[in-house]
Amino acid sequence: MKLGDQVQSADWKTEKHVPVIECADEVKAGEVFEVKVGLGKEVAHPNTTEHHIRWIQLFFHPEGDKFSYQVGNYEFTAHGESVDGANEGPAYTHHSVTAHLIVKKPGTLYALALCNIHGLWESSKDIGLA
């Protein structure tokens, strides 16, 4: 089995593990635009010591190119753990990020997220040029 065979996808409106990519459908070439990626927009994902999102990665695949480019790697390392026990800690990181990008071509954004229990999940969003 290849790693890619283990990546799951579904509709983010009904599956809490699917990353949600939010940004404009069209952007201006060479200009900064904002991209938000999170989980649990419609169905909340837990954020506990036992069940949490470890990281989100964001990629851009320019239209017509062979390869994708990683544009961000975001780790979430505080999930309520402490010496007092699970979910007793003083800090929790939330599984959402905001990135600012510049693209020169239309293409597709891809987001991967890793749940410590339920594995890898992906989603994508096409980006056009205005």
Q: Which residues are catalytic?
A: 15-17, 45, 51, 115, 118
Q: In terms of C-beta distances under 8 Å and separation of at least 24 residues, what long-range contacts does 85-89 make, across chains too?
A: 86/48, 86/49, 86/50, 87/48, 87/49, 87/50, 89/49
**Amino acid type, 40:** G
CA gap 122, 99 in Å, rounded? 17
**Amino acid type, 93:** T
